[in-house]
Amino acid sequence: AAGTAAVQQQWQQQADLQLGELQRRQAMNAERFQPRWDLRHVQAGEWYASGTGLAVSQAAMAQSVTNAEELMQRGGLAIEPEGDRIVRSLSPAAVLTHSLSSRHTGVLQSRRFLIDSDNIFVRAWGQNSQVRLVIENYPLGNGGLYPAVRLNRDEPGWLRLDTAYRRGSHAWLEFTTDAAERAYFGVTEVLSGDQPELPLETVMSSHALLRGTVPTSLDEVAERYRTV
């Protein structure tokens, strides 16, 4: 059986490797992109929400997040409407339309801003929904000629809106659900940048496993895997 020192050493090595990788990704993102909004900590007046699906998020948007526990409460889960599986997906702290049901609709709009980069990057996910840029207060139906991306993924990830030909224009970001069928979206962050490459993911699944006290035995390692 592995001794306490060996278990702790191996665990700490993995934790250090993961921390180093996280710091590398954060540094590269900071060098390449400019933060626009962090929707895990939305300030009132920055975004405008409507629809039954955003009632919970709309209330949270008017409140400041002061600790990690409050941040976690802004997450949620999506219930599988059919079949034997109960939970479809878990959501991080975000603005969500499906806190109660994917039947609930929602429209989320940012405040108006100046487009000053070739790309806008959104970390979002959803089904039967879309995010688009509405340029100069003139919305076009079905995305029109404006930059738009359909949301058809259950896991958070980065998406790119090409704004190279819209630099100098004023616009707002708009997330919408399809009112005709089950739909939802979640969004956590918005960045801007001139390079087309997507930002690196800084939410790593290993973080939840490796944080906290260092296990002292293989039994404790197994328990950590079981409970995380």
Dist CA 195 CA 189 (whole Å): 17
- Specify whether the CB–CB gap between 124 and 190 falls below 8 A: no
205: three-class secondary structure by DSSP: coil
C-alpha angle with apex 130: 128 to 134, nearest 5 degrees? 155
Extract the tokens encoding 224: 């950590």
Mean pLDDT of 107-129: 93
- DSSP3 helix / strand / coil % (the chain, rounded to 5): 30, 35, 35
Dist CA 94 CA 58 (whole Å): 11
- CB atoms under 10 Å from CB of 43, counted, come to 11
Dist CA 160 CA 124 (whole Å): 10
Tens of pLDDT, residues 149-172: 999 988 889 999 999 999 999 999
**Which ranges in 164-212 belong to alpha helices (H)?**
206-210
Tokens 């958070």 correspond to what residue? 156
Dist CA 210 CA 12 (whole Å): 9
pLDDT band at 25 (very low <50, low <70, confident <90, very high): very high
Tens of pLDDT, residues 173-185: 999 988 778 888 8
Tens of pLDDT, residues 33-64: 999 998 877 655 688 877 665 655 555 554 55
- Specify whether the CB–CB gap between 51 and 97 falls below 8 A: yes
pTM of the model: 0.76
- CB atoms under 10 Å from CB of 167, counted, come to 12
Residue partners of 213: CB distance under 8 A and separation at least 6: none
106: three-class secondary structure by DSSP: coil
Fold of domain 35-206: Jelly Rolls (2.60.120)
